Amino acid sequence: AVAQAQAALDAAQAAYQLKLQSPTPADLAAAEAAVAQAEAAVAKAQAEYDARASSDAVAADLKKAEADVAAAELALENARKNLDDLRAKPRPQDVQAAQAAVYKAAVALQKAEADLFAASGR
């Protein structure tokens, strides 16, 4: 129980530190590259849809192409949101929630240590 509580505290502290850190240039570059890849995927999916729509494509093929466009657009939306989140400063409530998680994990660790001490009969 103590080891689990220590691991939870370590994870909470790491999450808190991440909230306080600015993204690295590499993080931003990776997120920007993900947006560019997603934009290319949307363009490709749309081109495939357009080609099938202007041909004598089977309805099932057209539906699949339509679904591919929707999936690519969703991936683009997610990539843009990730980039926006990286560029944004952490919200105060997110920092406070991370601080609260650290406090809660520290209390749980203290309790686990106290329980272990009590169980050892000291």
pLDDT at 122: 64
Tell which residue, 23, 14, 24, 5, has the closest CA to residue 109. 5
Q: 42 near 69, Cβ under 8 Å?
A: yes
Tell which residue, 119, 120, 108, has the closest CA to residue 6. 108
Per-residue confidence in pLDDT tens, the chain, 122 aa:
889 999 999 999 999 988 888 788 998 999 999 999 999 999 999 999 999 988 887 888 899 999 999 999 999 999 999 999 888 878 888 889 999 999 999 999 999 999 989 988 76
Query: What's this model's pTM, rounded to 2 decimal places?
Result: 0.60
